[in-house]
Amino acid sequence: MAEVKISEMRDLTRIERIGAHSHIRGLGLDSSLEPRLSSEGMVGQTSARKAAGVIVKMVQEGKIAGRAVLLAGQPGTGKTAIAMGMAKSLGQETPFAMLAGSELYSLEMSRTEALMQAFRKAIGVRIKEEAEVIEGEVVEVQIDRPAVAGAASKTGKLTLKTTDMETVYDLGGKMIEALGKEKVQSGDVIAIDKASGKITKLGRSFSRSRDYDAMGPQTKFVQCPEGELQKRKEIVHCVTLHEIDVINSRTQGFLALFTGDTGEIRAEVREQIDTKVAEWREEGKAEIVPGVLFIDEVHMLDIECFSFLNRALENDMAPILVVATNRGITTIRGTNYKSPHGIPIDFLDRLLIISTQPYKEEEIRKILDIRCQEEDVEMSEDAKVLLTKIGVNTSLRYAIHLITSAALACQKRKGKIVEVDDVTRVYNLFYDVKRSTQYLMEYQSQYMFNEVPTGDAEEDETTAMVS
């Protein structure tokens, strides 16, 4: 009997690309906030992950707002990975805004305005409203098409039922079109918003699950609704304060969110929105969801930005601020003063500091295993051992970069598994920081603007030109 191959069809909902942190799915903590050695793409950094887990728990319970956390550690110790893990652990509902310190200097607006917009992107508003809906299982859809095209509009009947009752509704042209768009057929459980006429497909009824032999993986089965067909339902919308700002400050309304040109927003608009949101909170219509604002390379901010952050954190509606830096004692941008991490002492005093430690050899090995899996590269045991040694002697990032390069070298010789020779070949092709520095030291006289002693400057320049 011939084998029938069924091609798998998949909806492309997002652009799938392998990024530096695409393997991270959470913080890798158990129910008691104890970090597992390797879980959800996270390896090592147990104390930092545990501390981040405590912050996440407090955010979820709405216990803290207007607090700030600093992730401090050497380059390549997983600071951004921990922030990404926090974002994934918080879930879809909690807003998470990400910003790099250097971004503020490339935007066509003042730095304080850009920071204010980032702050308001990280504060969510959960708005509740009651709506009249008709919810039931479709028994039958009858559409009468006119004999002559264009002579008359389509008419039809829709039969809906719940476990207690069954009703027939007359359909107009718009509803017929909406049913056609949603591809509603008998056996589907649907909800119709009475005010707008919007149809939402909730799934297929369990009672009709045996109607078809084959079903797609996206088919969802639900119970037939109980009680009356018409009911009042509470609908919850989640938006960020920034989205409300943009909608109210632009003439094109919500379409301004898609044009991308948000520009500067006036303080009066924000004040009015804050007053309105406060009213909704008192009436029980809305609820504030403080999210997380993550600023990477925080040492890039200048003294004005730090002063603004000091003030902004004292606001009633402030998110949790998570900042990260890999600097030691360095100059505060915009001043001649030095301070730890390039952050002013008064702002540093407000921060809970989480420190990240360099990875151990076995942790580097586990991370390389995860990355090989993520990048779909098959590597021999010996090659992984060599790559781990390279990671220990150079840096983890350099070792990760060699994975794909070694896979391409393997592909070139038509091999299936990456061997030691492939890793050695790309190691010799691409320099790490140490070897590059060593090369510069040896051949620095041949480079432009090399630093030379002032006394022998002219003589050395002539020698360099001749050589």
Which residues have a Cβ under 8 Å from the Cβ of 184 and sit 6 or more positions away?
138, 141, 190, 199, 201
Concatenated DSSP letters of 218-250: T--EEPPPPS-SEEEEEEEEEEEHHHHHHHHHS
Write phi, then psi, for 391 (nearest 5 degrees). Answer: -60, -40
pLDDT in tens, 121-173: 888 888 887 778 888 888 888 887 766 665 557 778 888 888 888 888 888 87
Write phi, then psi, for 125 (nearest 5 degrees). Answer: -125, 120
| Alpha-carbon span 118 to 293, nearest angstrom | 7
pLDDT in tens, 213-235: 556 666 777 878 888 888 887 77
> What pLDDT score was predicted for residue 10?
39
For residue 331, name the pLDDT band (cuts at 50, 70, 90).
Answer: very high
The share of the chain scoring above pLDDT 90, in percent, equals 10
* Residues forming CATH 1.10.8.60 domain(s) in the chain: 361-446
Sign of CA dihedral 97, 102, 107, 109: positive
Strand (E) or helix (H) holding 256:
helix 256-259
* Residues forming CATH 3.40.50.300 domain(s) in the chain: 16-94+291-358
Residues in the chain: 467
Question: If you average pLDDT over each of 2-11, 40-49, 205-214, which comes out highest?
Answer: 40-49
Mean pLDDT of the chain: 80
| Alpha-carbon span 5 to 297, nearest angstrom | 51
Q: 418: helix, coil or strand?
A: strand
CB 406 within 8 A of CB 54: no
Query: What is the mean pLDDT of the segment spanning 355-377?
Result: 88
| Alpha-carbon span 51 to 34, nearest angstrom | 10
CB 70 within 8 A of CB 394: no
CB 233 within 8 A of CB 217: no
Lowest mean pLDDT among 186-200, 357-371, 402-416: 186-200
**Top-level CATH class of 123-288?**
mainly beta
* Residues forming CATH 2.40.50.360 domain(s) in the chain: 123-288
Closest to 65 in 3D by CA, of 279, 297, 293, 353: 293
Which residues have a Cβ under 8 Å from the Cβ of 305 and sit 6 or more positions away?
104, 111, 112, 115
Which residues have a Cβ under 8 Å from the Cβ of 270 and sit 6 or more positions away?
116, 120, 245
CATH number, domain 361-446, options 3.40.50.2300, 3.90.1150.10, 1.10.8.60, 3.20.20.70: 1.10.8.60
CB 139 within 8 A of CB 202: no
CB 438 within 8 A of CB 400: no
Domain 16-94+291-358 homologous superfamily, CATH: P-loop containing nucleotide triphosphate hydrolases (3.40.50.300)
For residue 184, name the pLDDT band (cuts at 50, 70, 90).
Answer: confident
